[in-house]
Amino acid sequence: MRIPMVLLLGAAFFVGCSNPSEVEKPQQTVIVVGYLAPGTDTQLTLRQTLPPERYYDGLEDTLLNAEVWISTQGETFALSPSGDDPGLFVLAHETMPIVEGQTYELLIEQEGRQVRAETTVPFKSVVTEVNTHLGDGETIVYNQLFGDSFGNVVHPGEFFWDKSENAAGYVVIIEAVDVRSLPPGPTAPLTGDLDRLIELRAELQGQVSADSLSVLDDEIETLRTFFAENLALVDNTGEPIRWLRDREQVEWEEIEGKEKWSEGKKWRERLEELFFASKIDYWIPADTTRSDFWWLGVRFEGEYRVRLQAADLNYFDYFTTSFNGQSGSDGDKGPVFHVEGGAGVFGSYVEDSFRVLAYRDDRVGVEGSGIGEVVVEVVADD
């Protein structure tokens, strides 16, 4: 799971500047983001906070010339820089398997600075039971009348799991499998680029050669294709994906007809809608082994994946004290990092998951009648 880099950079910037009135130049803080999970390659992203004179140049300063090691069970493994993504260091899981209950120690060295952290991988929590509010364990009902029911709507279901012996807590992620979306942070500026290219082409029409205009046309078409491929509500077969709620379906369709909006603004609106509607995540304390489904987490037709992550202390503390966890404590004391000599998160988790299929039925009915239902069929996850 990727944590928003803007949050980490902002938080660590203030960690490095203990007194804003001081004149001396604060030392840049190394930021590490990495999560270990069984069966997956190890990936760590390294950044550092920006020096004051470069604060407005951008929000990231990639840490390139670092040496990164992870030690476990008396062995030490060196991570290699990725050639495709600056600041990303990788290690294949065949070289260093991630094992439940095992402790992994991280050491980063860069220009005299050292960053250390360690994580103990939790034991897996297995989903043991999935119930739905109709009692059949496979079907939940959604009716358009639910939109007027406010807090009186019954949750569509619940699920249970075995307790992990050493997890600090649990993170639940519910995501629409077929809905494609992109993170707004790095993507939204591209919608502005599209608008500027379109405006530039209109200004140069009749003033430059056809070849020059053709170059602009190619750049414009590249961006349009990129947005269409990643922000269109269609599944892998090209069939349209509908919102479950009438009002959201109408609002989505109305975007195209906004005459006063630029093309880039329309894509920007779709970007925000899909990113925040396609996935939700929340945390569960370690002494709880059940969770409800919520209608809030089911917004589209199609397949949903429900992921249960048994999280170690580093991951859970960061998640519950950052903006991601929506706990509020981030505004009081800041995120909890558990990283010595730097900031960020070096954590671990073990995941179990199951899948459901949601379909929209437009017939009108009332809750519990079996009419106008959204059929959700439980599908075993691979």
Say which CATH number the domain at 363 has.
Answer: 2.60.40
Element (H, E) at 211: helix 210-231
Per-residue pLDDT reduced to its tens digit, 92-120: 999 999 999 999 999 999 988 999 999 99
**Same domain assignment for residues 137 and 252:** no
DSSP one-letter code for 305: E
Report the pLDDT value the prediction gives residue 376, as an integer from 0 to 100.
44
Q: Band of the pLDDT at 273, cuts 50, 70, 90?
A: very high
**Same domain assignment for residues 111 and 249:** no
Highest mean pLDDT: which range of 8-12, 174-178, 306-310? 306-310
Instruction: Identify whether the C-beta of residue 255 lies closer than 8 Å to the C-beta of residue 269.
Output: yes
Q: Pick the residue with more confidence: 166 or 365?
A: 166
Q: How many CA atoms lie within 13 A of 225 on its CB side?
A: 6
Q: Pick the residue with more confidence: 318 or 302?
A: 318
**Same domain assignment for residues 230 and 248:** yes
The closest alpha carbon to 315, from 286, 341, 290, 295, belongs to 286
* Residue 28, pLDDT above cutoff 50: yes
User: DSSP states of 224-278 as a string?
Assistant: HHHHHHHHS-B-TTS-B--BSSHHHHHHHHHGGG-TTS-HHHHHHHHHHHHHHHS
Q: Considering 256, 275, 294, which residue would you say is the last residue of a domain?
A: 275
Highest mean pLDDT: which range of 64-78, 131-145, 297-311, 332-346? 64-78
**Same domain assignment for residues 27 and 175:** no
Rounded CA-CA distance 165/368 in Å is: 39
* Residue 142, pLDDT above cutoff 50: yes
Q: What's the pTM value of the predicted model, to 2 decimals?
A: 0.81
Q: Pick the residue with more confidence: 152 or 90?
A: 90
**Same domain assignment for residues 269 and 202:** yes
**Same domain assignment for residues 20 and 137:** no
Q: pLDDT above 90 covers what percent of the chain? A: 57
- The mean pLDDT of the chain is 83
Enter the tokens of residue 185.
Answer: 């942070």
**Same domain assignment for residues 97 and 160:** no
**Tally of domains in the chain:** 3
Cα angle value 135/148/246 (rounded, 5°)? 90
Report the pLDDT value the prediction gives residue 14, as an integer from 0 to 100.
44
Per-residue pLDDT reduced to its tens digit, 263-272: 999 999 999 9
Q: Which residues contact 57 (CB under 8 A, 6 or more apart)?
A: 50
**Share in percent of the chain as helix, strand, coil (round to 5):** 30, 30, 40
**Same domain assignment for residues 285 and 331:** no
Q: Considering 275, 300, 324, which residue would you say is the last residue of a domain?
A: 275
Per-residue pLDDT reduced to its tens digit, 42-87: 999 998 886 655 554 555 577 878 999 999 999 999 999 987 778 8
Report the pLDDT value the prediction gives residue 363, as an integer from 0 to 100.
53
Report the pLDDT value the prediction gives residue 59, as an integer from 0 to 100.
55
Per-residue pLDDT reduced to its tens digit, 338-364: 999 999 999 999 999 998 777 776 654
Q: Band of the pLDDT at 374, cuts 50, 70, 90?
A: very low
Per-residue pLDDT reduced to its tens digit, 216-239: 999 999 999 999 999 989 888 888
Range of the domain at 198: 184-275
Highest mean pLDDT: which range of 56-60, 189-193, 329-333? 189-193
* Residue 127, pLDDT above cutoff 90: yes
**Same domain assignment for residues 158 and 297:** yes
Q: Pick the residue with more confidence: 210 or 356?
A: 210
Q: Band of the pLDDT at 154, cuts 50, 70, 90?
A: low
**Same domain assignment for residues 111 and 30:** yes
Q: Band of the pLDDT at 132, cuts 50, 70, 90?
A: confident
* Residue 21, pLDDT above cutoff 70: no
**Same domain assignment for residues 18 and 118:** yes
User: What residues does 343 pair with on adjacent strands?
Assistant: 31
Instruction: Identify whether the C-beta of residue 308 lies closer than 8 Å to the C-beta of residue 158.
Output: no
**Same domain assignment for residues 191 and 226:** yes
